[in-house]
Structure 1
């Protein structure tokens, strides 16, 4: 009787261990970390549904890979931590490729060109970077906008730099006069300029050109290879161009 009880207990323990092992990651699904206030790349529409260029592009890539996709809004200032912890598989939402980020994640080939620009109120009389001296400037926390401003001598001449969790809040403060300027991605600035004509304009000088890529956890070379193959195929079959024309009116996707 004791042997039977011991045997039953051992079988139970083995089943628990096996269940734990089988409860690993679902490789049939891609979990993508996004900033859901980053129009037109990834944002919520009037029905609170996620939409945008990167959303459509990611869905097409996942379909090409034979995988389902789940979008996970994250704190953009903690994006690399979210990736490295395994809570997300990819960082994909206007994610600028930089040397510093290359030390933390693997990147696909660049898929879109961008630039960090200065958004101003439409009635602003500022015309060049030097005019920002003594002004209040806003930007998104731990963004490539912050990196671009850090690298420019004009930063030391600013009155104050205010950081925001997203670009929407920064642009709101610009519109209400709390800020004189916002450092922001060109694609984002132009989207809001098209949605609110006569509200914003861009400074004649920009801060830095850049390129967007998709971030993959270091060590996951297999996923990187699969994803890049899918993106290459979307370029060849015209799907990438189709998505780009939908959102930008032209084919902006890099080969």
Structure 2
């Protein structure tokens, strides 16, 4: 046999041996776990925030946001549980998974967006200034040298402090555990003005029109949204759809009219 033929046969054998070697098939990637089905939504709220969420004479939770949350949960086909929390610790309650959403007149702010995901706004609100009916205070400028109050942890605190030229003229700025206590101090003279969410302030002023007045000026306009834990896109999407449907079919407007006498849905 010629030398060239031997070399050719050896090379062919090496190629065939290489072709016959079986490489192990790559393992398929494990499928991503399916999202856990939502069966219940735990709503964190301040239960002393009428007319958004508060207790009636039977100690049962009622309010505009209570009705909105119940309707949205019904449309999602899930149970809803309302859990009163310390509103000043609301972000910790949400991130700690002790509640699933914050639904209680929660203002959408850039600062809160760092720790909370929000639905699209469902209501527009103002931070109004409430004073005693006999008060000489008529404008924001008249607050200079006065004792002003607001609810601790509320957007009213942020709105007031944001208006630095006015805030810097206060004699004292006091915060309270809830708006009811702040308004009580206003009625007894321990405060000279209260800055409060419009929906809350007008609710109380309407109950005692002879005791309080609302100034024409306010501390800004804001939007209310439902707060969801960061990254919970599934629940956020479902709530956004439910709220959109409620607006489109008139259900949200009906709930608003029952509580405010007109449709204030955004």
Using structure 2 for the length normalisation, give the TM-score.
0.85
- Coordinate RMSD, CA, aligned: 1.1
Shift of the 138–26 alpha-carbon distance from structure 1 to 2, 3 Å rule, reads farther
Question: Aligned equivalents of 1:245 and 1:128: distance in 2?
Answer: 30
Partner in structure 2 of residue 89 of structure 1: 100
SS for the counterpart of 1:207 is strand
- What is the number of equivalent residue pairs in this alignment? 230
2:231 maps to 1:212: no
Question: Aligned equivalents of 2:227 and 2:85: distance in 1?
Answer: 14
2:147 maps to 1:131: no
Question: Aligned equivalents of 1:140 and 1:65: distance in 2?
Answer: 33
2:52 aligns with one of 34, 41, 60: 41
1:100 aligns with one of 75, 95, 111: 111
Compute the displacement of 1:237 (Å): 1.9
Matches within 5 A, 1:204-243: 204-243=216-255
Question: Aligned equivalents of 2:227 and 2:239: distance in 1?
Answer: 11
Moved more, 235-244 or 136-145: 235-244
Question: Aligned equivalents of 1:84 and 1:26: distance in 2?
Answer: 19
Larger Cα-atom Rg: 2
Q: Runs ≥4 in structure 1, deviation > 3 angstroms?
A: none
Deviations 1:71-107 (CA, angstroms, capped at 9, x unpaired):
0001010001100000000000000000000111100
Using structure 1 for the length normalisation, give the TM-score.
0.88
Compute the displacement of 1:27 (Å): 3.0
